Structure 1
């Protein structure tokens, strides 16, 4: 059992919190109320960022002391939305939210994952008819191993998990969010994920 704080209680955060609780972890969810994120992060070993990507950097940078020495799992994408509310561009072109977080939180290993799919797939990858892929980006091997174990708890098979390397590789997976609005317009709001066929 791992103590986990999920920052963000929307669809993504709630979905992850429920699944991780069912997997036997001790999970605390922090919403928008002042102080709840700090309290949750202070007592957790792993903190999951499921806050809106366009405000994540400011929110988490304010928790620098509480996040020191914790593993930060970043599942958000920082985008500029179009008129229809869907992602239209990247907030950090030439970089990524994960890189920005790692720079702002040098004593907190950041691991990027679960950001290349619609949220239901995060906790039920076997729901898809094709084998999905999930990616890891981060500098700390031990942190990535801990996150890999969480992914397995969420139903991801080892062969579906690809370690892309350092945190800089997160800019590639974050850019994949730009596929999402086009896929939704083409196929509707049905669960999907990126899959690497080999």
Structure 2
């Protein structure tokens, strides 16, 4: 398919992840709307977008997005969240969907939406500035729709990812592997501090 030069994107979640993605995608020439977690704002933003990015906290994402089923019909949903149970220090301690994934549950709840999982194996600054790391990071794609994954692949290029840093893992079921990688995060942070990092596959 042809490279998309500009598209309408709704970012659900106005925290550090959502704000960072919205700023970078706007800079890349896309028309971006950011919605907070209130139902009305999310529905309005989703209704007018071609692509919707879920940057809401993963623990509540399934319920929030299931309520937007009508607005998400026919759209591409880019899920960058991880559904975790946090420990006493606020860092991820366990998965909410062990043996499955948030992305799989979203696809099941939203059968008329094309869900693509990506950018969930890194700290948020790396999502929009992958070249900041001393070694090349990897961004993984999981999803059942090849065209949707190609569209998201092109968005990653707009965010500064090189095509050789992007790996298509296959169907949405593969998201359970990348979501499980979040369990590395608290140990890496405790070991080296809150410095940008990403999961990378050495070849």
TM class, shorter-length? over 0.9
Q: Deviations over 1:101-146 (max 9, x none)?
A: 0000000010000000000000000000001000000000000000
Q: Distance in 1 between matches of 2:36 and 2:111?
A: 24
Q: Does 1:142 align with 2:147?
A: yes
Deviation above 3 Å: which 4+ runs of structure 1?
A: none
How many angstroms apart in 2 are the aligned matches of 1:82 and 1:180? 12
Q: 2:31 matched to 1:31? A: no
Shift of the alpha carbon at 1:34?
3.4
1:196 corresponds in structure 2 to 201
Q: What SS does structure 1 have at the residue aligned with 2:189?
A: helix
1:21 matched residue in structure 2: 26
C-alpha distance after superposition, 1:78-111 (max 9, x if no partner): 0000011100000001100000000000000100
Whether the aligned pair in 1 keeps the contact of 2:136 and 2:165 (CA below 8 Å) is: yes
Unaligned stretches of 5+ residues in structure 2: 1-5
Distance 2:53 2:37 in 1: 15
Pair 1:65-2:67 in alignment: no
| Residue in structure 2 matched with residue 99 of structure 1 by the alignment | 104
Per-residue CA deviations over 1:39-88 (Å, capped at 9, x if unaligned) read 00000000000000000000000000000000000000000000111000
3-state SS, counterpart of residue 35 of structure 1: helix
Q: Do 2:91 and 2:186's aligned partners in 1 also have CA atoms closer than 8 Å?
A: yes
Question: What is the Cα deviation at residue 197 of structure 1?
Answer: 1.0
Residue 79 of structure 1 is matched in structure 2 by 84
Alignment of structure 1 residues 153-164 onto 2, 5 Å: 153-164=158-169
Q: 2:180 aligns with which of 175, 178, 188?
A: 175
CA shift for structure 1 position 32: 2.5
**Matches of 2:19 and 2:136 in 1, distance apart?**
24
Residue 167 of structure 2 is aligned to residue 132 of structure 1: no
Q: Compute the TM-score of the two structures, normalised by the length of structure 1.
A: 0.99
Q: Which residue of 1 aligns with 2:3?
A: none
Query: 2:37·2:56 contact (CA, 8 Å) conserved in 1?
Result: no
Identify the match of residue 118 of structure 2 among 101, 113, 118. Answer: 113
Match of 2:17 in 1: 12
Look up the SS of the partner of 1:48 in the other structure. Answer: strand
Asked if 1:89 corresponds to 2:94, the answer is yes
